[in-house]
Structure 1
Amino acid sequence: MNHSPASPLPAMRLLPSSCHPGARQMAIDSLLLDQRAPAFRLYSCQHPTLSLGFHQRYIEPHWQALAAAGVIDLVRRPSGGRAVLHAGELTYALVWPDPPLSRQETYGSACAWLVNCFAGLGLPLQAGRQAASPQPSSCFATSTAADLGHASGVKRVGSAQLWRRGCLLQHGSILLEPPADLWKLVFGGPPPQLPVLPIDRAELELRLIQAAQAELPAAAAGNRTIPLSSEEWEQIAATEASYGLALAGPSSLASPEATMDRTTWAKARPSG
């Protein structure tokens, strides 16, 4: 019997780092997932932004007050997990078609580049050891096997996932210098007391991109830097508003992806 050769995995698309409003960043990631092709990018938000995970159905009243006062923007992430404050951090998005079905293997492969990058800085990271709790609303209030922290137990990277028809979107929030005053306003306490980074933000971003290019499983077939096209920007503009959370009424809890096919692991949802 003749067997046709397996189709080669397409090269991983690298997108230039960006700084846009939070709702736009979420719309970009959702578009990349819809394309079902390997992709990776780093980004930040133009204005301090609180992103809520897909499964969060309760918005703290003081979050709405902070958003109404213009202190933060409120957006809905397409991925799961708990609330993430996008300020003093870097977010990465990885799209990985047809990853392993083993949860442990997928998380390990999707995060190895981060572990190696921080080890090279003398700041080793390891998987979290706390069980997920239904109580804390902050992604960084707990640290599970989906997350990465230092030996002291302090969490550096929070992870969240969305599976759509066998394709994975992994989000990660990498804390750099979270603003203490804003963190207290949002979460009612101080941010994690992280070891000081030995390099500046620009150098860290460069090293993270290099590590992703070299080590991500989706990069095995090579990688190419490809900015968003004008057609893609049109699609993003058409959906961006749906990722912002309204400040009044129960409609603020609606998700823009409520009707989309999803695959989750019931026993191990990422903490944030």
Structure 2
Amino acid sequence: MHNKQVWRLIPLLEASGNVQMKIDRWLLAQHQSGKHPPTLRFYTWSPPAISLGYHQRQYPQHWQKLIWKGQKLDLVRRPTGGRAVLHQGDLTYAVVTSGLVGNRMAAYQKICEFLIQGWKAIAIELTYGTAGRGYIHNPNCFGTATGADLVLPNGTKMIGSAQLRRGGVILQHGSMRLQPDAELFAQVFGAESFTPVQLNLSVEQIMTALTTAASDCFEMQLELQPLSQFEWDEIQAQPNLEC
């Protein structure tokens, strides 16, 4: 029996959007330079934030002044493509890996396989979305579901993912909606129809199901390893991406 590849699992982390994006960029660069194994991690955004896709230049001006529960909403730029995502009441996953064969879509689907399997294990069926014609003109990532997104049986988008490739190395991260605030969503994206997903699951249950599925889908074993102080120093030394 061959030895399974070992991936790093970074414990659940709550931090600002800029810090989370720095970590993802750092993990990608480290893996690309051969200093770091493939990695899986889960995180939340504090304060809540709107993340903009790397190339997204147009967005409503009022996004810079949004307040929720007395706290200013962060506006953060991702290193990945796609459109704006509201990070509040969600859980984000990030996968950094290499050696996936095929085109961008094949890589998306290979990575999304662990999401489909993991959620299925906790009785939630997800399938790939189909892009409507509104996709190009919609600044809201959750407004339309493309083939890179995962939707519930009623068509509600549950997970939106975005990807960055550097040579053979891929960073894919995505937002999983758990308990979003419908009022805040309307404030950000206007009167778009919005169906909150009622999940009676803890973040721990979700992460356990997803890490088990990831080990299976990527045929690897995960080793839990928090970021060291040295790594934190390197991560924090990076500049923020400008909004």
Superposed pair shares fold, TM > 0.5: yes
Q: Could you say if the C-alpha distance between residues 200 and 9 of structure 1 is closer, same or farther in structure 2, counting changes exceeding 3 Å?
A: closer
2:59 is equivalent to residue 59 of structure 1: yes
Give the C-alpha shift of residue 180 in structure 1: 1.2
Q: Could you say if the C-alpha distance between residues 206 and 221 of structure 1 is closer, same or farther in structure 2, counting changes exceeding 3 Å?
A: closer
2:117 is equivalent to residue 129 of structure 1: no
Q: How does 1:18-97 map to 2 (within 5 A)?
A: 18-36=13-31, 37-66=37-66, 70-97=71-98
2:206 is equivalent to residue 208 of structure 1: no
Give the C-alpha shift of residue 207 in structure 1: 2.1
The Cα RMSD (Å) is 2.2
The answer for the alignment partner of 2:154 in structure 1 is: 152
The answer for the alignment partner of 1:101 in structure 2 is: 102
2 CA distance for matches of 1:50 and 1:129? 24
Partner-residue secondary structure (3-state), 1:177: coil
Give the C-alpha shift of residue 70 in structure 1: 4.6
1 CA distance for matches of 2:118 and 2:200? 12
- Does the 8 Å CA contact 2:10/2:39 hold for their aligned counterparts? yes
Q: Work out the percentage of aligned pairs sharing the same amino acid.
A: 38
Which runs of no fewer than 5 residues in structure 2 stay unpaired? 32-36
Alignment TM-score, normalising by the size of structure 2: 0.88
Give the C-alpha shift of residue 137 in structure 1: 0.6
CA displacement, residues 132-182 of structure 1 (integer Å, 9 cap, x when unaligned): 721111110110110000121111000100001221000111001111121
Give the C-alpha shift of residue 194 in structure 1: 4.1
Partner-residue secondary structure (3-state), 1:93: strand
Give the C-alpha shift of residue 131 in structure 1: 4.3
Q: How does 1:232-271 map to 2 (within 5 A)?
A: 232-239=231-238, 241-243=239-241, 245=242, 252=243
Partner-residue secondary structure (3-state), 2:136: coil
Equivalent of 1:15 in 7, 10, 35:
10
Q: Could you say if the C-alpha distance between residues 32 and 233 of structure 1 is closer, same or farther in structure 2, counting changes exceeding 3 Å?
A: same
The answer for the alignment partner of 1:176 in structure 2 is: 178
Q: Could you say if the C-alpha distance between residues 111 and 16 of structure 1 is closer, same or farther in structure 2, counting changes exceeding 3 Å?
A: same
Q: Could you say if the C-alpha distance between residues 206 and 124 of structure 1 is closer, same or farther in structure 2, counting changes exceeding 3 Å?
A: same
Larger Rg: 1 or 2? 1
2 CA distance for matches of 1:189 and 1:208? 33
2 CA distance for matches of 1:49 and 1:141? 17
CA displacement, residues 225-249 of structure 1 (integer Å, 9 cap, x when unaligned): 121122211111112x513x5xxxx
Give the C-alpha shift of residue 62 in structure 1: 0.7
Give the C-alpha shift of residue 9 in structure 1: 8.1
Which runs of no fewer than 5 residues in structure 1 stay unpaired? 1-7, 246-251, 253-272
Give the C-alpha shift of residue 60 in structure 1: 1.5
1 CA distance for matches of 2:217 and 2:25? 20
Residues matched between the structures, number = 234
Q: Could you say if the C-alpha distance between residues 222 and 209 of structure 1 is closer, same or farther in structure 2, counting changes exceeding 3 Å?
A: closer
- The ranges of structure 1 where at least 4 consecutive aligned residues each deviate by more than 3 angstroms after the TM superposition are none
The answer for the alignment partner of 2:34 in structure 1 is: none
Structure (1/2) with the larger strand percentage: 2
Give the C-alpha shift of residue 114 in structure 1: 1.3
- Does the 8 Å CA contact 2:65/2:73 hold for their aligned counterparts? no
> Residue type of the partner of 2:6?
A
Give the C-alpha shift of residue 195 in structure 1: 4.1
- Does the 8 Å CA contact 1:148/1:158 hold for their aligned counterparts? yes
